[in-house]
Amino acid sequence: MAKIKTKRERVKFASDNVAGACPEVLDAIIKANEGDSTPYGNDQISTELQDKFSQIFEKEVIVFPTASGTAANALALSTMTPSFGNIYCHKMSHINTDECGAPEFYTGGGKLVTLQGVKGKITAEELDEAITGKGIVHHTQPSSVSITQVCETGEVYQLDEIKKISDVAHNHNLNMHMDGARFANALVSLDVTPAEMTWKSGIDVLSFGATKNGCLAAEAIIFFKKDLVGNVTFLMKRAGHLLSKMRFVSAQLDAYITNDVWIKNARHANKMGKKLSDGLISHPDINLSFPTEANEVFATFPRNKIEHLNSEGYTINEDEWDGKAVRLVAAWNTKDNDVDEFLNILNKTN
């Protein structure tokens, strides 16, 4: 019987989540597997993370490793938002569109108040106008603000934008959260320090992303204000995120931030994103929807090109911005020839 040929599946550019873990992280996991270790985050690797992240952020911070970005976001927001509180965020933010109600669940009913923003970013002016009802018993109470870095259009919040939003939040006695799923990509794009992009610009709590940039399954909640830590340890245990073998998550983070692995990975992913973006704009019928500032590319494609790429095995993400844009994402392990192959196939479209 003749073997049925199936089309080659190409998942490159569908997301940076398609990439595996980088060698440094895998080596660290294997090393962490040697011998026995104290459970529940009391191991040496986990405790030393506090000092290592404090050095990176030029400030004493408190770090809680988690295994997913959704858990990091929802748990971070639960420390600063009561069940009757509001969380202000962009309407297309991950916490609003892609986390299945986790922030509402973990806060016990906190309400997401979505903002229109401009090109994926919320603005200080719109936020200031939206914060209402403080002290009125009939209203949910303004409690926290969450921004995503890199934002929902692949663009990066500039430091002055973060500072202005943070100033508005703090003037209203709200706390500032940053969803840093692509934190490293934004950092190398801006060419600033981690401190400058976070607490020096007014961020109180950071969801530090690592899985998209070379880790297997590792994120971290980083507190820049000790008084916000509150009951997070109990919340993590209750939510099932106090891992008994936390050392395997911590080992990933440790390897990730050692010897600037995270910066190297992000710089490469951004470079590949720019190469892909530059190749797309050579086509007169393809238009960038937003500037390419990190590793994500948003563009409008004609139907025949989308169908051709799908026929060649690519998974084209057409769901972004209510179907108004195609999203392509470069990863830490994207190669030059991956981009070349994609562009060459695109060039063969009738």
CATH second-level architecture of 266-347?
A: Alpha-Beta Complex (3.90)
Segment (H or E) for 82: none
Domain boundaries, the chain: 23-260, 266-347
The fold adopted by the segment(s) 23-260 is Aspartate Aminotransferase; domain 2 (3.40.640)
Is the pLDDT at 192 greater than 90, yes or no?
A: yes
Is the pLDDT at 306 greater than 80, yes or no?
A: yes
Angle in degrees, CA 340, 342, 348, rounded to 5: 100
Is the pLDDT at 339 greater than 80, yes or no?
A: yes
pLDDT tens digit string along 131-177?
999 999 999 999 999 999 999 999 999 999 999 999 999 999 999 99
Is the pLDDT at 340 greater than 60, yes or no?
A: yes
Helix (H, G, I), strand (E, B) or coil at 161: helix
Residue type present at position 89: C
Cα–Cα nearest to 268, from 297, 298, 294, 299: 294
| CB within 8 Å of 185: residues ≥ 6 apart | 150, 213, 266, 269, 270, 294, 295
User: In this prediction, what percent of the chain has a pLDDT beyond 90?
Assistant: 88
pLDDT for 89: 98
pLDDT tens digit string along 57-84?
999 999 999 999 999 999 999 999 999 9
The stretch 41-52 carries a mean pLDDT of: 95
Query: Which tokens in the block code for residue 193?
Result: 């320090």
Q: pTM surpassing 0.85?
A: yes
Is the pLDDT at 315 greater than 90, yes or no?
A: no
**Are 181 and 152 in contact, with CB atoms under 8 Å apart?**
no
| C-alpha to C-alpha distance for 80 and 204, rounded to whole angstroms | 10
Q: In what order do the strands lie in the sheet with 111-115?
A: 62-66, 219-223, 205-209, 175-180, 141-148, 85-90, 111-115
The stretch 310-335 carries a mean pLDDT of: 86
pLDDT for 243: 94
Is the pLDDT at 45 greater than 70, yes or no?
A: yes
pLDDT for 318: 77
Segment (H or E) for 250: helix 247-257
The stretch 326-338 carries a mean pLDDT of: 96
